[in-house]
Copies of this chain bind each other. A is one copy, B any other.
């Protein structure tokens, strides 16, 4: 298990990209829309981990609701696994609540959200990168 991605919600993606390019000393690697979550994203690769900046464009999506409730900042931490279904089974058996069924994230990411009440109120999730797609 490793940290697959860590997301920060931002009000203005371009301003945030400019700042993180300064902090990280590298240019942004990918930009994508994420229509299912009502957001635009830009991301940097730091070792095995994507640092993802997320700007809501729909106030009713999960990122939009988080921005309205908490302002800019940390949004979620996603743990990379080889087998999402097996990990989800292990979590269920350990009493860790899962939030809904697996969903598709960016690229070939298949994502399972955990219930935040078990993890310090923060959103943790698990991600598997599906083979043969991007």
Contact residues of A with B, CB < 8 Å?
1-3, 6, 8, 10, 16, 19-20, 22-26, 46-49, 51, 71-74, 77, 79-80, 87, 90-91, 94-96, 114, 118-122, 124
Q: A6-B77, A79-B46, A121-B71 are in contact. Are A1 and B25 (CB under 8 A)?
A: yes
Oligomeric state, in number of copies?
Answer: 2
Neighbouring B residues of A74 by C-beta, 8 Å = 73-74, 77, 122
Contact A51 B10 (CB under 8 A): no
Contact B24 A1 (CB under 8 A): yes
Q: A49-B49, A74-B74, A79-B46 are in contact. Are A118 and B2 (CB under 8 A)?
A: no
| A71–B124 alpha-carbon span in the complex (Å) | 17
